[in-house]
Amino acid sequence: MNTRELAQKLGSVEVIYSDKNARSNSSIQPFDYLLVLDFEATCWNNLDSKKKQSEIIEFPVVLYDVKNNEIVAEFQQYVIPTEHPKLSDFCIQLTGIQQNQVDNGVPLPTCLLEFMRWINEQMKLYNMDFPGGKGDGTKTCAFVTWSDWDLGVCLKKECNRKRIHCHKMFRKWIDVRALYKLHFKRPLTGLSGALLDLGLQFEGKEHCGLHDARNTARLVGKMIEKGVILRLTKN
Ligand code: AMP
Ligand code: MG
Ligand code: MG
């Protein structure tokens, strides 16, 4: 390990930005696996949105293997909104999520239980755990989101409002948008703009949660290649 890598590992160097390091940068990343998450929620046009609270309607997470630069597992569940069960035309248009998909979904507490079951399976399969977790996984993982909205606002507020227990694992994450802004110092133009900026096209449908999560993972892969260290931003 050279001095620069050591300094980075000890946290004394925040930004390492070098194309030369390319994929070898994965070995100096703090996490072996990243759980890239992107919620879709109920929404309305400008006038209505001020009066109403959003509820999660799609809960997708992709498990990204840092070393091999690939998605190795996916979780996706549609969720029934209980406060405003009928999706607005605006929301259907934006997300592409249809009324029957949420009607056939599960309530948020059930979705959280299903996610817990899924994550526990992945932890055993890939021998991983969150830092400080109770399991005996030797590999580490962390949540990644584009902005703080998903875990810092959307899930947090809905759980508080509905008195749903929210597992403590959802309290720490990497806001890849903040790291992007910090490292590339370019005006933010959204996820697809960030991808374009690094030479990638958005694949699939924007605002489909699963596609957003997959594309965020692709962005993360490119950022790692460019030397960005994926460290926790909310701890
Ligand atoms: P995104 O991950 O960018 O697809 O956005 C997540 C959620 O934020 C969406 O499911 C909507 O609830 C809300 N949202 C995103 N863009 C807009 C918009 N232009 N107007 C209103 N709500 C939006
Ligand atoms: Mg999003
Ligand atoms: Mg989205």
pLDDT digits (tens, 9 = 90+) for 10-39: 444 333 333 344 466 677 999 999 999 999
Q: Is the dihedral of CA 134, 135, 136, 137 positive or negative?
A: negative
Ligand nearest to the Cα of 148, by number: 2
Q: Is residue 234 part of a domain?
A: no
Q: What range defines the domain where residue 156 resides?
A: 24-225
Q: pLDDT tens, 118-127?
A: 999 999 999 9
* 35 located within any domain: yes
Selection from 214, 148, 224 nearest residue 183 by Cα: 224
Here the CATH number for the domain that contains residue 130 is 3.30.420.10
- Looking at residue 25, what is its pLDDT? 67
* Rounded average pLDDT over 164-174: 97
Would residue 16 count as lying in a domain? Answer: no
Find the helix packing angle between 190-197 and 209-225, rounded to 10°: 30
Tell the residue nearest (CA) to atom 12 of ligand 1: 41
Domain count of the fold of the chain:
1
Name the token pair of 214.
Answer: 């997959």
Closest ligand 1 atom to 42 CA: 12
Compare 47 and 223 and report the one with higher pLDDT: 223
The answer to whether 232 and 172 are in contact (CB under 8 A) is: yes
- Is 2 contained in some domain? no
> Does ligand 1 lie within 6 Å of residue 145's CB atom?
no
Q: What is the model's pTM?
A: 0.90
Catalytic-labelled residue, pool 40, 55, 58, 158: 40
Q: Is 7 part of any domain?
A: no
In a domain, 18, yes or no: no
Contact partners, residue 140, CB within 8 Å, separation at least 6: 30, 31, 32, 33, 128, 129, 130, 131
What is the pLDDT averaged over residues 157-185? 97
| pLDDT tens track for 68-85 | 999 999 999 999 999 999
Whether 3 has a pLDDT exceeding 60, the answer reads no
- Residue 44's pLDDT is 94
pLDDT at 5 over 80: no
Known active-site residue 207: yes
Q: Is the pLDDT score of 106 beyond 70?
A: yes
Pocket probe for ligand 1: among 38, 39, 40, the residue whose CB has the most ligand atoms within 8 Å is: 40
Residue 9 lies in a domain: no
Please provide the average confidence, as pLDDT, over all residues in the chain: 90
